[in-house]
Structure formats: C-alpha cells, structure tokens
C-alpha cells in the first residue's frame, strides 16, 4: 500500500483495489443519499419549490460547520420525496452506487417522521424503500436489512406514534435506531420506546458519541440495549468504555468523511478509527450521508488510505468487522466471509 503522501484517483492501483474490495455498509441514511440532480428532478416531478436555482447552489450550500447546519438542509431537501416511486428511486439509486463499488450487503436507515410529519403516509415511505431493496437482492445480488430511525429532537410521544405506524410492516424491518441532533437529547429520552421495540422483536442501534460525550455511548448500551453504536468515536474519551468495547466487541459504525465534514475531527489525519482498530475495537467504515459528505464507501476507504496510511490488512479487518456486526443471518455472513477471503 502507498504511504500517506500517495494521491488516490480513479485510475490508481489503490483506487482500483479499494473499489473492488467487497464491502458491507451498516450506517447509511437513505435520505442522505439524495444527490443534487435527483433533488432537482423530484422537485420538478412533485412541484416542490427549492431555494436553489441550480445544482451549483446546492453544492455551495453543502458547506457545514456543525451537525445542525447539515440537518437544516437535509430536512429541507427531503421534502421532494412524496410518492412511493420517489422512495423507490432514491433507494434504487443508492443500490446502483453500491453495485458500482462492490458493496454486497447494506443495512440502511430511514426517517419516517421526516415524511409523516408533512403528510406522507408511512406505508408510502416503507413500501417504496422495501420494493427497491427486494429488487436489489434479486437483480443486483445486494442483500439488506432495513432500520427505522426515530428523530431524537422530537419527543417520546412522536416516537411511540411512529412505532405504532410501523406495526403493520414489522416484517419489513430488522431494527430501530436513533438519529438527528445529539446534543440536548440523550439516549435515555427514548428508553421506553426502545423497550417496546425490543418487545416487538426488533433489534436496536443508536447514534451516540458523535457530537455527544462518551457518557451517551454508555446510556445507549445500558438503557437502549443496542446491538451496535452508530459513530461512537468519542469512546476514546473514556478508558473504561474502551475496555468494555474491546471485551464485548460492541461494534461502532464509524463514518470518516462525515466526521470530518461535520468537524468532529478538523482533518482526516486526526481521525481515530485506526487507533480504535489497533485497540481491537470492532470499528467499521460507512458513508452516513454520502451525497452531503463527499463520498460513498470507496471514497471513505480512499480517504483513510490517503490521510492515515490505511493498508490492505487494516482494510480487510474493517470489512470483516462489518460482516461480524451485520444483522444478516449466519448463512449470509458465511457467504460474505468467503467472498472477502477469496479476495485476499
């Protein structure tokens, strides 16, 4: 592998190796994969007025200094998603990108409250997404599990209402998650909702330790009983937590480009994902909101190679961690492991 000064580009051997590397994605917000061109196409299709006159203005708006700046634009853009076809098209476009980058299994998030609060039926959202995921398995060979997220800046009552709306569609869901602005909204705010979701047979994950402290990771683990922690990079603040994560192999779904775009780390050279990997923490690589943060899975791996000297052994281990941390069944995990082993 090249040293940290090596430039990556679409024609370099490194880029080719990383593109072909079999990958698994466990932290992806479908609404965050809405590319500028599709944003405009859907706005025209659904007669939605946008505050931007062209794609260039959208790109300029995607300069964030903090999580809330991003969320303001994210929720605004999501208004163009109205029909079942829109949600299908959004999901299908993401899956085509996955096919291009050899992503073999995905566990995407979606935020129903972002849509139901503006009058879009829950069934419209989930049926469009689910049909695309079904087609992705049949036509592209990409397996998937779907995770419904609650918006933590909304109240517990709204989360319970969303869970109630999901009841007829539990067969389409693998788990529930918790996203949106972390500060001021600790995980325990949703302990009762998560307890109900677990009673229904759903697995749980939660964003914690991104902009919030390590304490939020403990709460997600102890109160929400999560199977994975989304982000979790601030775990490094707490040596006791690091020991726990290493001993239990609780996975962290880390999103390098997102973390630097939102200034969790000022520069990629400061990112701690490889430090955590060296501590035998079950860290994984993911793209979060790729349309907004500058890249999908391959670009995240490339950024680590360029800034942190990621080598092939580390890249393989990160993918192995993702397989282990995934919610797919044991047979699929074995299939994915064989594909990864054959690649080495």
Active-site annotation, residues:
210
231 sits in which H/E element? strand 228-231
User: Which pair of structure tokens corresponds to residue 153?
Assistant: 């800046």
Phi/psi region, residue 280 (left: phi>0; alpha: psi -120 to 50; beta: rest), is left
E strand map for 89-216: 103-106, 109-110, 143-144, 147-151, 175-179, 203-208
User: Which pair of structure tokens corresponds to residue 37?
Assistant: 């061109």
Distances (CA, A) of 120 to 84, 87, 152, 172, 258: 10, 11, 20, 18, 28
d(CA 78, CA 96): 20
d(CA 102, CA 140): 10
Please name which of 286, 270, 271 lies closest in space to residue 318, comparing C-alpha atoms: 286
Burial class (CB in 10 A: 0-12, 13-18, 19+), 245: buried
């Amino acid at each position: 592998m090249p040293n940290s000064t090596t430039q990556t580009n679409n024609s370099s051997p490194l880029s080719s190796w990383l593109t072909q590397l079999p990958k698994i994605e466990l932290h992806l917000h479908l609404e965050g994969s809405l590319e500028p061109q599709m944003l405009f196409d859907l706005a025209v299709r659904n007669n939605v007025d946008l505050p931007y006159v062209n794609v260039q203005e959208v790109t300029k708006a995607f300069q964030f200094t903090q999580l809330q700046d991003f969320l303001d634009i994210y929720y605004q853009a999501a208004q163009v998603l109205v029909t079942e076809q829109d949600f299908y098209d959004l999901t299908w476009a993401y899956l085509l990108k996955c096919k291009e980058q050899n992503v073999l299994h995905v566990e995407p998030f979606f935020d129903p409250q972002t849509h139901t609060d503006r009058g879009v039926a829950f069934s419209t959202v989930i049926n469009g997404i689910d049909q695309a995921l079904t087609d992705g398995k049949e036509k592209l060979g990409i397996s998937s599990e779907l995770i419904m997220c609650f918006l933590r800046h909304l109240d517990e009552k709204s989360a319970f209402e969303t869970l109630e709306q999901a009841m007829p569609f539990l067969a389409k869901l693998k788990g529930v998650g918790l996203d949106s602005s972390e500060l001021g909204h600790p995980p325990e705010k949703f302990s009762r909702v998560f307890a109900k979701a677990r009673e229904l047979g759903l697995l749980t994950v939660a964003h914690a330790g991104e902009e919030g402290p390590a304490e939020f990771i403990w709460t997600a683990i102890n109160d929400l009983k999560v199977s994975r922690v989304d982000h979790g990079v601030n775990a490094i603040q707490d040596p006791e937590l690091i020991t726990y994560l290493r001993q239990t192999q609780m996975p962290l779904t880390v999103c390098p480009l997102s973390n630097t775009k939102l200034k969790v780390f000022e520069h990629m050279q400061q990112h701690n994902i490889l430090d955590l990997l060296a501590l035998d923490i079950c860290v994984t690589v993911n793209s979060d909101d790729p349309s907004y943060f500058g890249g999908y899975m391959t670009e995240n791996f490339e950024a680590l190679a360029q800034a942190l000297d990621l080598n092939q052994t580390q890249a393989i281990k990160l993918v192995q961690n993702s397989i282990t941390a995934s919610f797919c069944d044991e047979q699929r995990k074995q299939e994915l492991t064989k594909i990864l082993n054959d690649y080495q």
